[in-house]
Amino acid sequence: MKAKYLSLASRSMQNSLAYRVSFIVNMSASVFYILAMFFLWRAIYAHRTSLAGYSWNDMKAYLLVSFLSSTMLSWYSESRMSSRILDGSVAMELLKPIDFQAARLAETAGTTVFEGGVSAVLVTIVLIVYAGVMTPHSPAAWIAFILSFAVSVLIKFGVVYISSLFCFWTSSGFGVAWARAAITNLLSGALIPLAFFPPWLRATAYFLPFQGIVNAPASIYLGQATGAAVWGTLLVQVFWCVVLWFLGRFVWRFAVRKVTIFGG
C-alpha cells in the first residue's frame, strides 16, 4: 500500500538529481537573498548591541535558520504541483489508484531529501568557515531543532499544496505562487523575526500556521524556547500540520469538481 508512494518519492529524488545543476543555481537566489539580509543587519548592528531582544549573534543564527527553511520545498516542487493542475494532467491522476495529496507529499519528500542534503552541506560549511554563528546549546536542543525543522517542512507543504489548488481557478501559477510566498515570508518570520512586529501583528502571526515554518524552529535553535516551551512549540507545529492536511483534503474536494463536472 505504501510502496507506491515510496516509489514516487524515490523517482522524484532521482529527477532532482538529474536537474541538480539548475537546482543548485536556483538555490543561489536564496543565497543572494540571505547575503543581502546579512549585510543589511550587519550595518544595522554596527551601532547597537541588541534590537528587539536579538543580539547580532542571535540574528546571524536566525538568518541561517531562515535560509535553511527557504531552501526546502523550493520553487521546483511548488511549480510541479501547480503545473499538474494547470496543464490538465490532474485528470490523468484521477484515473490512478493514488491519493492526490499523498502522492504530492511523496514527490515533495523525494525532492526535499536532495534539497536538505545540499543545504546541510552549505550550512556545515558556513558553520565551519564562519565560526561566529552560534549553534543550539545542547544535543537535546539539536534534536528538538531537527524535529521541529522537519515538521516545519510539512507545514510548508500544507500551505503550498492548498495554494496550488487555487490553480484550478486560474490559468497561470505565478500569481498564486507569488501571493503565497509574500504572505508566508512575512508571517512565518522569514523576512524578519516576529519579535520586531508591532504587538497586534505579532499576536496575529502567532495564531496562524505560518509561524511554524521559520519562527518555531528558529526559537528552538536560538534557545529562546527551553524546557516545556520546546514541547509546546513542537505540539503547536504538529497541530497545524494535521489541520492543514485535512484542510487540504477539504479544498481538494471543492476543487476537483472543476475537473469532474466542468471538464477542467
Partner 1 sequence: MRLILRAWRRNAYLYRRIMGQNLRAALEYQSDFLLSVGSAMLTQVLGLVFLGVVFSRIPTINGWGFWQIVFIYASIFLTEGFASLFFEGTWRIGYFVNHGELDRILLRPLSPAVQLLSSAIGMNGIGNLLVGGVMIGESLTHVHMVWTPGKILFSVILLLSGIVIRTSINFASNCSAFWVKNAGNAVPFMVHSISEFAKYPLTIYAPALQALVGIVVPYAFIGYVPAGYVFSTSGMAWIAVLCPLVALYCAAVAGLILRTGLRQYESTGN
Sign of CA dihedral 110, 112, 113, 114: positive
> How many other C-beta atoms lie within 10 A of the C-beta of residue 245?
19
Paired with 50 in beta bridges are 55
- Among residues 253, 41, 226, 67, the alpha carbon closest in space to that of 168 is found at 253
21 lines the binding site for partner 1 (CB under 8 A): yes
Contacts for 45 with CB less than 8 Å, ≥ 6 apart: 51, 56, 59
Question: Considering the complex, what minimum distance in angstroms separates the CB of residue 242 from partner 1?
Answer: 28
Question: Considering the complex, what minimum distance in angstroms separates the CB of residue 168 from partner 1?
Answer: 11
CB-based burial, 116-144: b 16+ in 10 Å, e otherwise: beebeebbeebeeeeeeebebeeeebeeb
Residues 139-178: x where in contact with partner 1 by CB under 8 A, - otherwise, as a string? ------------------------------xxxx-xxx-x
Q: Which residue matches cell numbers 490559468?
A: 171
Question: Considering the complex, what minimum distance in angstroms separates the CB of residue 2 from partner 1?
Answer: 31
| Residues 21, 128: Cα–Cα separation, whole Å | 24
> How many other C-beta atoms lie within 10 A of the C-beta of residue 223?
17
Residue among 6, 17, 29, 140 that touches partner 1 (CB under 8 A)? 29
238 lines the binding site for partner 1 (CB under 8 A): no
42 lines the binding site for partner 1 (CB under 8 A): yes
Residue among 10, 15, 26, 83 that touches partner 1 (CB under 8 A)? 26
Question: Considering the complex, what minimum distance in angstroms separates the CB of residue 57 from partner 1?
Answer: 18
| Residues 190, 185: Cα–Cα separation, whole Å | 5
Residue among 56, 196, 239, 252 that touches partner 1 (CB under 8 A)? 196
Residue among 36, 140, 143, 208 that touches partner 1 (CB under 8 A)? 36
Residue among 186, 205, 238, 247 that touches partner 1 (CB under 8 A)? 186
Residue nearer to partner 1 on the CB measure, 144 or 162? 162
17 lines the binding site for partner 1 (CB under 8 A): no
Residue 185 CA from chain centroid, whole number: 10
For partner 1, the binding residues (CB under 8 A) are 19, 21-22, 25-26, 28-29, 32-33, 35-36, 39-40, 42-44, 46, 48, 51-52, 169-172, 174-176, 178-179, 181-183, 185-186, 191-192, 196-198
